[in-house]
Structure 1
């Protein structure tokens, strides 16, 4: 908490499938205060909105900081103009809800709202890997951020501005098709063979469970875990310890990610690709980014397409929160 009286800040909210988090962020991207609450299990719209109201009331009740605008990053498709959520898979109680309208009317402040991957991209551009590159004299023109976590999402910053598409739904890399076989794994979106169904944390855990249920790989440390405890995090931890089966599970996810990102390079021609999310942290820990980069290169049509940097997120869990803050600061500056 800052000791300066009446410190200017923006209120940023990062609402994912598990947690709702709020923070007060200054102009340099410093988090002055933050708190989070778990989403209500089995809760409906009213319970979800009450959860957020509790966090916002706590933020606005703090002394010594005033917020001039609100930025929101949400997990799922959202219309950036109206702020309406459209069938967010992990936040279905908020389907059809415009947080932008509700909170503008309630608090009298301008509100910016966007998909969490888009917000994370703008956060990395202003406060993370993009800023670090610019300060090192290597400013990037086209940045692609991909989060590999429970699901997979993406965001594009083109010469300082978010590339949103007609309805704010661009860069959904997690739902590009990378497996067209009859045995392609099902995705939560209802389709089969999506990148998210192959390389996300959810997919990694599901694939490991399926293979172990066949009675194979009983020598793996993962075989001793209950299905509930067999998570992507557990697979990564086993791979760090040299578990052969865990490495094979991770290799499948890495192959899928290389295919998906090669498609990204052909579509968006980024000169900086940033890997964020919990699974990406594990891949970095396992020193697999060079393998991912090589897998991308093997699929590219020209040498010029290969001119890009592939780096881990600098901001980590704060990328979406700080992206929401950057969007809110833009609103404040335009008041």
Structure 2
């Protein structure tokens, strides 16, 4: 049995004193019964006079107990919030925290970009474009023409030899496929994601897509500084027709459903950073322009399934957040 609190002890003592005083009163003064016998009204008033003060005492005790419980709950809640804040700050400052992981990914992406630029000429020497290969610009190529005869092949070889000196290295790089483009827009899942890094390396070889990759990397890094991570967001699904309207240039309420991110905390933090941080604001507008330009080209040959897959990438989720903050969907 738990020990009595101070309020309960005081209430018990006051109740005992009051009941003792009432008993002494009746012992000294008598019950006051009239000659006519038992009087119900007098009995009821007597009981009320005795019980009412006791009830008031214990009502006050209950109120004091409730106030004490609320104070204890408030103290525990404050301690829990302080603990969460401390853990969050340690994660941000710690070696293995999300901020450090984002820095490692950024460093890895920089290394990939340097390697891709350094080996661009070498790749152009060893890699050739395969006829009929699906690409971002042509996902459904026409069938390959029948093999040509020896004379035609000889003439074709002479023409190619004539044009060889005028061919740029960029023209000899295989076109970026839609699958690789979508995979690159999601970025590698972890350091061992070989497929993700392969797709990212291929995307960096495309000049237009590389600009969007860099802009997306910058904005994702800046947002992670405020604890906003795209993997934590769960946007609503959006119909591919709405994405096609966006690619066609429509803005405002016609594409309002693209603002599918409902996380109030992430939206509030992003809006505050947009107002106060000019670097973040410039990076956001640059990212939005790059996304707009590249997505318009991507949508032309993408299927509905491709559009749905693109909407699930980290880059698309960042666009949804920034689109709501900047009023693109208003």
Q: TM-score, normalised by structure 1?
A: 0.23
Q: TM-score, normalised by structure 2?
A: 0.23
Greater share of residues in strand: 1
Q: Radius of gyration: which is bigger?
A: 2
